[in-house]
Amino acid sequence: AQRVTQPEKLLSVFKGAPVELKCNYSYSGSPELFWYVQYSRQRLQLLLRHISRESIKGFTADLNKGETSFHLKKPFAQEEDSAMYYCALSGRLSGGGNKLTFGTGTQLKVEL
Amino acid sequence: GAGVSQSPSNKVTEKGKDVELRCDPISGHTALYWYRQSLGQGLEFLIYFQGNSAPDKSGLPSDRFSAERTGGSVSTLTIQRTQQEDSAVYLCASSPPWGGDEQYFGPGTRLTVT
């Protein structure tokens, strides 16, 4: 069974401080991992995916298969980064779709 | 263009009543997903539609839950004989047919069963 764990419900950092949102997964196979973000009063949206190896809004995430982790990092937090962040693991469905298994989310609060 | 839309945005119902939740996916998106987010829980997959193919219902929690998708577009999630544990935010998402794993989410329907 696939499972995603986000150990922190709330992470509070000061503006300009580094941020690391933790995500660990359990999956038998080659995982596809994502970070989704939900800003206040907005809908859930994709932030980044591990296969792209890209930096979005200054955030990066590296897949570590040895530690089964996909932590989200940003060197300098900004006030606009305050949001709910969800780590998600993709599993194939019959018919070719992708079932996303989400963690319980981490609320990031960036304080001035 | 318009994103995924869902209606109603909020629904309060009495225990034992049936409810219908609606999802309009992005035009041209062939894949449609329903998820549920209960208080303090992550999003839980419910059901997946791909075009006109038979849906993957592997996430439906009980036979009180059903969903249909008409004409490969609009979808309705029906919960019969609602229970208090059905209270949650129900999210719909769609994906385009041209590959990629991104799912585009709607704003959700908050269901409260009293």
* pLDDT tens-digit series, residues B68-105: 998 878 999 999 999 999 999 999 999 987 666 789 99
pLDDT recorded at residue B34: 96
pLDDT recorded at residue B99: 60
Burial class (CB in 10 A: 0-12, 13-18, 19+), A29: exposed
- Asked if the Cβ–Cβ distance from A97 to B31 is below 8 Å, we say yes
For residue A98, give Cα distances in angstroms to A34, B39, B41. 12, 24, 20
How far off is chain B from A102, nearest CA to CA, in Å? 5
- Asked if the Cβ–Cβ distance from A100 to B103 is below 8 Å, we say yes
Across the range B21-30, mean pLDDT stands at 93
Cβ of residue B106 closer than 8 Å to a chain A Cβ? yes
pLDDT recorded at residue A81: 97
pLDDT recorded at residue B93: 95
Q: How far apart are CA A27 and CA B36, in angstroms?
A: 21
| Chain A residues inside the 8 Å CB shell of B31 | 97
pLDDT recorded at residue A52: 80
| pLDDT exceeds cutoff 60 at B1 | no
| Chain A residues inside the 8 Å CB shell of B50 | 95-97
Are residues A7 and A23 in contact, defined by beta-carbon separation less than 8 angstroms? no
Across the range B26-41, mean pLDDT stands at 90
- What's the first-to-final CA gap in chain B, in angstroms? 37
pLDDT recorded at residue B41: 79
| Chain A residues inside the 8 Å CB shell of B33 | 97, 99-100
Of B43, B48, B101, the CB nearest to A90: B101
Note down pLDDT in tens along chain A; length 112 residues.
789 999 999 999 999 999 999 999 998 888 889 999 999 999 999 999 887 878 889 999 989 989 999 999 999 999 999 999 999 998 777 667 778 889 999 999 999 9
- Asked if the Cβ–Cβ distance from B102 to A43 is below 8 Å, we say no
Report residue B61's pLDDT band, with 50, 70 and 90 as the boundaries: very high
* A57, A104, B103, B34: CA torsion to nearest 10: -160
How far off is chain A from B50, nearest CA to CA, in Å? 7
| Chain A residues inside the 8 Å CB shell of B52 | none
The strand pairing partners of B3, in sequence order, are none
Cβ of residue B52 closer than 8 Å to a chain A Cβ? no
